[in-house]
Amino acid sequence: MKPKVSAKDVARHVGVSVATVSNVINNVNKKVSEETRQRVLKAIEELHYQPDFTARSLAKGKSNLLGVLLPITQAGDDESLLLKDNPFYAELLSGIEFEAGQRGYDVIITGIRPEQSLKDWVRKRNMDGVIFLGITPEPFLNELKALHIPVVLMDSHPKQGDCHSIGHDDFLAGKLACQYLMARGHQVIGFLSGGIQTSPVNLKRYEGYQEALKEAGLTSRPNLVLEDSVSFEGGYRMGLRIAQEYEKSRKGESVTALFCAADIVAFGAIKALREKRIKVPEEISVVGFDNLKTCDYLIPGLTTVDQGIYHKGVLAAGILVDDIEGKLEACRHIQLPVRIVERDSVCPPREK
Amino acid sequence: MKPKVSAKDVARHVGVSVATVSNVINNVNKKVSEETRQRVLKAIEELHYQPDFTARSLAKGKSNLLGVLLPITQAGDDESLLLKDNPFYAELLSGIEFEAGQRGYDVIITGIRPEQSLKDWVRKRNMDGVIFLGITPEPFLNELKALHIPVVLMDSHPKQGDCHSIGHDDFLAGKLACQYLMARGHQVIGFLSGGIQTSPVNLKRYEGYQEALKEAGLTSRPNLVLEDSVSFEGGYRMGLRIAQEYEKSRKGESVTALFCAADIVAFGAIKALREKRIKVPEEISVVGFDNLKTCDYLIPGLTTVDQGIYHKGVLAAGILVDDIEGKLEACRHIQLPVRIVERDSVCPPREK
DNA sequence: TTGTAGGCGTTATCAT
DNA sequence: ATGATAACGCCTACAA
């Protein structure tokens, strides 16, 4: 176990002080003569010196660590990261990691666990900033603000206060999806999502969906607006209920299309419909939301609302680092554009 | 920006020395009288004191940080984590995070990027141990060994030397999958995977597949053994080639089943087959490998070889922490059991 | 331009 | 049982 080489070793090797070594590393090129600078650099190379971030963190009060907070499965379960159940988080995390790496930061992840104080997690590692994925519990957020650490909220209500937020115009997106369906002749359109009142994102999408119907002189049917958990299983359960509605409805009055506020929900719903022998898209068309890679895997491919997940992750990390490094004046509230990605889960309605 | 409370503050508040505070925190209950112990604990509570892991790392030479190294997309691409393309890594990472959290460690992730020295990444943060997901580049591995840090290799060749490894008996698994297909009447079975010679895992599965055929008195056809990247796209390309073979083969001699060495490959292959109007499973049955959640999303559901991904992650983190804490005598090489999970992508072959 | 010295928050050693 | 104090490796005034 050879002891790791420290700045002191480098200093001794060159015949200068540790301060000089430190200056070479930090002060881009001020304060140190070009000659000694080169000698120090050479020694660093030769000795394979690598500054210790732990010590540096302590001295500078800056860790170059970005905390990413991931939602976990609802209680009752084994309490694992939702990361494993919804590809959405993996894509996002991937984008975050990429940008963070580019800018010299490391990413550390954890689940948003209720019992444990999140603030402590952030404090004990002196994290420079954190990114919340998914819904952020209000109390945690307040804890964080007290720490005066840059925070980026993904997909939450824009008005969450003095943190950055990045999402999209969910109202518009919901409207867009619904209009897409109507443009293809659908009039009876169901809406499937997670809790509408508990999630501003779902609410906005719901309102957009409602608005689109209204503008077209249509109304939504309460029994076609379903809420359950944002998961495959939730989607499956809702799909089953839709299947029931479909079966018992009369000719010309049945659902012909579904707008699901998350791809993962659409996956579950489609599975349920198909098990009930209802054809997608021939009998019921489906539009999802997210544009996960998985949409391509399904047959038929899922037509959905793209929100550039990966890029969103990149952006989030970028903003966070910008703020950390003092390059930002005020809080940024970004609304990313969305667009419909057409695949094969939508077709014109057919008489029952 | 209130300055964070340190051990010194606690000490002053109680009227003892920092050493005593430290002792209360670390030495379970030795060396400190029960009375002062309680007083210190009370102060910690009142002041919301939280030990600083950064400082602790420096002093103890232990960071309580676990590094997880994730493969990245092949060069040429935007060089992002494979995490975003294959749900496999998300499930694994989720398991790792869970167990790490339970045992008081934090997880820090990064892509295995060629240019950057991995060793430096590990050293600069004083990581206590690392877990490699996917294929591990040999040079990196050697760099790591020189650091004398516990390493867990996932799904690599068991003989990688003095690191822990965790995988399964891929030979048996391959054989199992192939036998499953043969038991349902298939005789002409294709094999789709990533590089067979470049990945011991694929090689073993391939050999198992060969062995099963051989034992049944069958032989594999070279034009049905395909290699491409382990990705949806790779699977898609191979599926296209299989479709070609299928079309040009004569009655009674065509492929009737495929064994894909990864679910993600199976997804791509199925997509290609279906686009070429070949029905799965009626015309070609498919067996995958991994048992990703996504297998359930597809229609038909993908019959596959389950390898308990999440649990594997939990185990990996467990072993790593055990080693870090000196609870392990020697290197552990674990072979997890596998089993077939039946869904709907396999049925008896049908005459063309 | 370079070196000295104090400090970042903890732990560990050794007195008391 | 408790307290001083020296590390840990680095940064940053300030002094030379």
Look up tokens 């060793």; give the residue: B119
**Interface probe with B: pick from A50, A109, A145, most Cβ of B within 10 Å:** A109
Choice among A188-192, B131-135, B181-185, B289-293 with the minimum mean pLDDT = B131-135
Instruction: Mark which residues 126-145 of B lie under 8 Å from A by CB.
Output: 126
Q: Which of B109, B278, B314 to mutate to test the interface with A (most CBs of A within 10 A)?
A: B109
B97 vs A contacts (CB less than 8 Å): 80-81, 83, 109-111
Separate counts of helices (H) and strands (E) for chain B: 13, 12
| Rounded Cα–Cα distance for residues A143 and A211 (Å) | 37
Give the model confidence (pLDDT) of A185-210 as tens digits. Answer: 999 999 999 999 989 999 999 999 99
Architecture of domain A7-51: Orthogonal Bundle (1.10)
A81-90, B94-103, B248-257: segment of lowest average pLDDT: B248-257
Question: How far apart are the CA of B187 and the nearest CA of chain A, in angstroms?
Answer: 27
The CATH architecture assigned to B65-169+309-336 reads 3-Layer(aba) Sandwich (3.40)
Does the pLDDT at position A159 exceed 90?
no
Query: B157 in contact with A at a CB cutoff of 8 Å?
Result: no
- pLDDT for A141 beyond 90: no
A177-181, B137-141, B302-306: segment of lowest average pLDDT: B137-141
**Surface of B (171-190) touching A: CB under 8 A:** none
pLDDT of residue A338: 97
CB contact under 8 Å between B4 and A109, yes or no, is: no
- For the ranges A146-150, A223-227, B186-190, B272-276, the lowest mean pLDDT is seen at A146-150
d(CA A167, CA A349): 32
For A198, other C-beta atoms within 10 Å of its C-beta total 10
Where is average pLDDT lowest: B66-75, B84-93, B340-349?
B66-75
- What's the rounded Cα separation, in Å, for the pair B110 and B91? 16
How far, in Å, CA of A27 to CA of A20, rounded? 10
Residue B27's pLDDT band (boundaries 50, 70, 90)?
confident
pLDDT at res. A117: 76
CB contact under 8 A, B58 and A58: yes
d(CA B15, CA B12): 5
Q: What are the tokens at B187?
A: 């005789």
Whether the CB of B296 is below 8 Å from some CB of chain A: the reply is yes
Q: Looking at chain A, which residues constitute the CATH 1.10.260.40 domain(s)?
A: 7-51
- Structure tokens that stand for B47 in this block: 């002041």
Q: Do A110 and B93 touch (CB under 8 A)?
A: no
Per-residue confidence band for A219, with pLDDT thresholds at 50, 70 and 90: very high
CA angle at residue B300 from A192 to B93, to 5 degrees?
A: 70
CB B122 within 8 Å of CB B144: yes
Q: Which of B58, B65, B296 sits opposite A55 (nearest CB)?
A: B58
**What is the number of CB-based contacts under 8 A between chain A and chain B?**
160
Per-residue pLDDT for B352 more than 90? no
Name the percent of chain A lying above pLDDT 90. 80
- State both tokens at B348: 């008896």
3 state SS of A56: helix
Mean pLDDT of A8-18: 94
- Are A106 and B110 inside 8 Å of each other by CB? yes
- Separation in Å, CA A268 to CA A103, A111, A224, A232, A260: 38, 24, 16, 4, 10
pTM of the full structure? 0.95
Residue nearest to nucleotide C9 (CA to C1'): B55
Provide the token pair at A10.
């480098």
Whole-number pLDDT of residue B299: 96
User: B90 CB near a chain A CB, below 8 Å?
Assistant: yes
User: For A266-290, what is the mean pLDDT?
Assistant: 98
Closest residue (CA) to C1' of nucleotide D5 is B19
Residue A270 DSSP label? H
- Check whether A264 has a pLDDT greater than 90: yes
Tokens representing A62?
């800056």
| Of residues B95, B148, B297, nearest to A271 (C-beta) | B297
Interface test with B, best of A45, A62, A81, A85 (most B CBs within 10 A): A81
Q: Supply the pLDDT for residue B265.
A: 98
- The percent of residues in chain B predicted with pLDDT above 70, rounded, is 95
Nearest residue in chain A measured CA to CA from B105: A110
What CA–CA distance (Å, rounded) separates B306 from B338? 6
Show Cβ contacts of residue B352 under 8 Å, excluding neighbours closer than 6 positions. Answer: B249, B251, B252, B254, B283
How confident is the prediction for chain A on average, in pLDDT? 92
* B188: DSSP letter: S
When CB atoms are compared, the residue of A83, A94, A113 closest to B80 is A94
Stated in angstroms, how far is A207 CA from D4 C1'? 67
A130, amino acid identity: V
Pairing status of strand B106-111 against strand A106-111 = antiparallel
Place of tokens 């590990």: B122
**Is A297's CB within 8 Å of B296's CB?**
no
Residues A299, A270 contacting (CB under 8 angstroms): no
- In angstroms, the CA B97 to CA B105 distance is 9
B 37-56, residues with C-beta < 7 Å of strand C = 49-52, 55-56
Query: Would the Cβ of B31 be found within 7 angstroms of any atom in strand D?
Result: yes
User: In 3D, which of B167, B111, B119, B166 has the Cα closest to residue B142?
Assistant: B119
Q: Which of A12-21, A271-280, B78-87, B96-105 has the lowest average pLDDT?
A: B78-87
Q: H helices of chain A, where?
A: 7-14, 18-26, 34-47, 53-60, 87-102, 118-124, 138-145, 170-183, 200-215, 232-248, 263-275, 294-297, 309-324
Tokens found for residue B99 = 């167990």
Residue B16: band (very low, low, confident or very high) from pLDDT cuts 50, 70, 90: very high
Q: Measured on CA atoms in the order A246, A251, A256, A260, is the torsion positive or negative?
A: negative
Contacts of A271 in chain B (CB under 8 A): 296-297, 299
For chain B, where do the domains classified as CATH 3.40.50.2300 start and end? 65-169+309-336, 170-307
B17 CB and strand D closer than 7 A: yes
Measure, in angstroms, how far nucleotide D10 C1' is from residue A342 CA: 55
Query: What is the reported pLDDT for A329?
Result: 86
Task: Report the sign of the C-alpha dihedral through residues A196, A201, A202, A203, in that order.
Answer: positive
Give the model's pLDDT for residue B155. Answer: 87
Is the CB of residue A41 inside 7 Å of nucleic acid strand C? no
In chain B, residues 21-60 whose CB comes closer than 8 Å to chain A: 50-55, 57-58
Overall residue count recorded for chain A in this entry: 352
Which two structure tokens, joined as six digits, stand for B85?
A: 């393309």
Chain A residues 60 to 119 with C-beta below 7 Å from nucleic strand D: 60
Is pLDDT of B1 > 80?
no
**Mean per-residue pLDDT, B186-214:** 96
List the CATH code of the domain at A170-307: 3.40.50.2300
Average pLDDT, chain B: 93
State the smallest CA–CA distance between residue A148 and chain B in angstroms. Answer: 7
A76, pLDDT greater than 70: no
Is the C-beta of residue B30 closer than 7 Å to nucleic acid chain D? yes
Q: Which residue is nearest to nucleotide D13 (CA to C1')?
A: A19
Q: What is the pLDDT of residue A142?
A: 82
